[in-house]
Amino acid sequence: MKEEHFFDEITEHKKKKRPYSLVSYTTDWNDKFEEIKKTLEEVFRGKAMKIVHVGSTAIPEIKAKPIVDILLIVPDVQDLVEEKEKMVGLGYEYQDNYIQEGTTTFWKSEDNDQKTQNIHVCFEGSEEARHFIEVTSYLKEHPEKAKEYEDLKIKLNEQHPNDYPAYRKGKNGYLKELEVIAKEWWKAKTN
């Protein structure tokens, strides 16, 4: 039986060949996160247990796609009918089970169809939520590994500037290893 990894699931849902860009780190991403967080606190009032800036835009000084990734932890992903309606009313699109079974992802795009934000909704205690937090935290506290990851992203962007799925696939092996390292690091740090 093939061992599955969190990042395999993300890749399966991103098959559309499209251009993408990597840009230098900016503190504007943190400001954008804080702005979005306020909206999420309002929309998911009473259900938002934790809202965390995750992904490359949360890691200081590395290049990233200019898309703010946010993890929203809720008690039950299935109980979000009203919240989904409110988010759609605010211009978001969404898909259930996008990154993994039992998750919902909201995204917002600009007029040019370029995503500007992804909101990954996971239930409390889920493996997916843990992965987001562990990997982002590990890279924030290990700048040499963050730089290594950035170097890989730049290399893949140069090789596949108009093929996001190829770029994503090229990162898979590294991300799988990083996931294991981050999990062990997190376990040692929190025990």
Q: Which CATH number fits domain 6-190: 3.40.50.2020, 3.30.460.10, 2.60.130.10, 3.30.470.20?
A: 3.30.460.10
Q: Is the dihedral of CA 110, 172, 64, 9 positive or negative?
A: positive
Amino acid at 2: K
Spell out the alpha helix ranges (H) of 21-142: 28-43, 81-89, 127-141
Question: CA-CA distances (angstroms) from residue 138 to 20, 45, 105, 119?
Answer: 25, 29, 23, 20
pLDDT in tens, 89-104: 999 999 998 778 889 9
pLDDT digit string, tens, across residues 56-72:
999 999 999 999 999 99
- For the segment 38-48, the average pLDDT, to the nearest whole number, is 96
Mean pLDDT calculated for residue range 63-82: 94
Give the closest residue to 164 by CA, choosing from 2, 10, 54: 10
Q: Quote the pTM value.
A: 0.88
Average pLDDT over the chain, rounded to an integer? 90
pLDDT tens figures, 166-189: 999 999 999 999 999 999 999 999
Q: In the chain, where are the structural domains located?
A: 6-190
Give residue 5's pLDDT band: very low, low, confident or very high (50, 70, 90). very low
Residue 10 has pLDDT above 60, yes or no: no
Q: Are 165 and 17 in contact (CB under 8 A)?
A: yes
